[in-house]
């Protein structure tokens, strides 16, 4: 299951992780975000133990959203060693997301 990442847990969960981290920036009111949600959950299950998969609710965590310039949602960022190494904006198929995350394992 994807982790709920907040402004306060972001540094520990994402920036200090020894594994690649996929972060889905989303909001409850966003239709495309609801479409992407189950895909993110499947990716979280598939990559369990190999990568960290989490979600940031942009309405409740505006500090992180602003820091990374999130203007459109859903936006998926992939971090490695505390740096953004890949980005997807909008809904993408599971195989595309999995391929991008696999490239950073």
Contact (Cβ atoms closer than 8 angstroms) between residue 2 and residue 41:
yes
Report the chain's terminal Cα–Cα distance, integer Å.
19
Contact (Cβ atoms closer than 8 angstroms) between residue 17 and residue 3:
no
Q: What are the DSSP E strand ranges found in 1-105? A: 3-4, 21-26, 52-57, 75-80, 83-89
Contact (Cβ atoms closer than 8 angstroms) between residue 29 and residue 58:
no
Catalytic sites, residue numbers: 30, 33
């Amino acid at each position: 299951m994807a982790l709920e990442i907040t402004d306060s847990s972001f540094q520990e969960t994402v920036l200090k992780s020894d594994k690649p981290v996929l972060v889905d920036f989303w909001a409850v009111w966003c239709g495309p975000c609801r479409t992407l949600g189950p895909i993110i959950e499947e990716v979280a299950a598939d990559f369990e133990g190999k990568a960290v998969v989490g979600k940031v609710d942009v309405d409740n965590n505006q500090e992180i959203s602003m820091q990374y310039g999130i203007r459109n949602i859903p936006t998926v960022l992939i971090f490695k060693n505390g740096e953004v190494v890949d980005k997807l904006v909008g809904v993408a198929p599971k195989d595309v997301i999995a391929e991008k995350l696999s490239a950073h394992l």
